[in-house]
Amino acid sequence: MSWRVTLHCTRTEAEALPESEELFPFSDSPPVIVADEPDPHAPDDWRLFAYFTEQPTTRELILLRRLAAGSEPELTHLGEDDWVTISQAGLEPIRAGRFFIHTPTHRDDVPDGATAFEIDAGLAFGTGQHDTTAGCLRALETLAGRSFANIADIGTGTGLLAFAALSLWPQAKAIATDIDPISIDVSQDNAAINGVRIGHGPGELLLAVADGMDHPILTARAPFDLLIANILAGPLIDLAPAFAASVTPGATLILAGLLDTQADGVIAAYAEQGMEVVERGDGEWCVLVLKAAQRSVAASWQPLTEPGGGLSLPFQ
């Protein structure tokens, strides 16, 4: 049988989730914890679902309460169905241009001619269900006729946007980073599922845990001619100088994770860096496509040789 515990939380609490093994070190079968944003119109109202194979104990419920301040656990008996089937039942495939994003339960539903990626529901963000992720996929497709050689996906979540970029530009080098180590673990698993090669070379993806642009691998890989960042408006504004310094003159940036009401503030921050808006996007969650100045701050960036030797990489 299966049991589900539901807690209401903030996005900050959802992003701070520990791994189940860390939260329940005493358990031989720890629950699987999934974060969900039920209403895109309320970007800070999230839910946590913890799926147990057996009825959770009082001790386990107390530990879960610590993940979401002020929320009382809601316990639901799910019957005999497997928790994976239940947790993914509401996650319908997403079609964004040529891209078809699906969970394992829809593996046989891929349309002819689609570029499909299998992204399991789990602890990381960016499964394609949110408007920002789907919007980024559509923005990438609009750039398909152009050529990019060095791509960065900052705040990658599940790795999905980096995978999509490499499918469009298979000879490019790509790096995907996230501040959350769980996201990088999930991205590595998703890369294996979707046949994305991990490595330094053309057509390969590097993965690293990084806070913004603060990582030696990003320094070594810069400047980028395509930079994708699906995060939040505040961090996007804070990172504007660092992004501008890490891209080539005339580079393309795809920025998302912001409401339409926040777009003007983000645009202003990047205009100060000499960038112009190419596409603002529609809807409540807009996706900005920007072009870096032809003579940008990137001129002062000193690219390093490809990391190796004494630099230890988390994934090679």
pLDDT (mean) for 120-139 = 66
Domain with 145, as residue range(s), is 128-300
Do 291 and 183 fall within a single domain?
yes
Question: How many domains, in total, are found in the chain?
Answer: 2
Question: Which of 88, 116, 145 is where one domain is finished?
Answer: 88
Tell me the backbone φ, ψ of residue 117, rounded to 5 degrees.
-135, 135
Q: How far is CA 182 from CA 110, 124, 191, 208, 260, in A?
A: 28, 7, 14, 11, 29
Each residue of 4-25: pLDDT tens digit? 889 999 888 887 777 667 788 8
Give the integer Cα–Cα distance in Å for 242 and 24. Answer: 38
Do 263 and 186 fall within a single domain?
yes
Do 152 and 46 fall within a single domain?
no
SS3 254: strand
Give the integer Cα–Cα distance in Å for 283 and 124. Answer: 24
> Residue 165's domain is classified under what CATH number?
3.40.50.150
Please say whether the dihedral angle defined by the alpha carbons of residues 231, 236, 242 and 243, taken in this order, is positive or negative.
Answer: positive
Give the integer Cα–Cα distance in Å for 53 and 90. Answer: 20
Do 149 and 226 fall within a single domain?
yes
Grade residue 290 by pLDDT with cuts at 50, 70 and 90. very high
Grade residue 79 by pLDDT with cuts at 50, 70 and 90. low
| Contacts of range 269-273, beta carbons closer than 8 Å, 24 or more positions apart | 269/236, 269/237, 269/240, 270/240, 270/243, 270/244, 272/240, 273/240, 273/241, 273/243, 273/244, 273/297
Do 149 and 272 fall within a single domain?
yes
Question: pLDDT value at position 257?
Answer: 87
Do 143 and 42 fall within a single domain?
no
Do 162 and 287 fall within a single domain?
yes
User: How many alpha carbons lie under 13 Å from residue 268 in its C-beta half-sphere?
Assistant: 7
Question: pLDDT value at position 123?
Answer: 42
Residue 260 inside a domain? The answer is yes
Q: Is the pLDDT of residue 306 over 60?
A: no
Give the integer Cα–Cα distance in Å for 53 and 4. Answer: 9
> Residue 10's domain is classified under what CATH number?
3.30.70
SS3 238: helix
Do 72 and 152 fall within a single domain?
no
Grade residue 91 by pLDDT with cuts at 50, 70 and 90. low
Using alpha carbons only, give the angle 234, 240, 243 rounded to the nearest 5 degrees: 125
Question: pLDDT value at position 113?
Answer: 87
Question: Which of 88, 109, 142 is where one domain is finished?
Answer: 88
Give the integer Cα–Cα distance in Å for 248 and 292. Answer: 8
Each residue of 157-214: pLDDT tens digit? 889 999 999 999 999 999 999 988 888 998 999 999 999 999 999 999 999 999 999 9
Do 163 and 296 fall within a single domain?
yes
Residue 34 inside a domain? The answer is yes
Do 10 and 82 fall within a single domain?
yes
Residue 96 inside a domain? The answer is no
Do 78 and 150 fall within a single domain?
no
Each residue of 198-257: pLDDT tens digit? 999 999 999 999 999 999 999 999 999 999 999 888 999 999 999 999 999 999 999 998
Residue 164 inside a domain? The answer is yes
Amino acid at 52: F
What percent of the chain is modeled with pLDDT above 70? 82
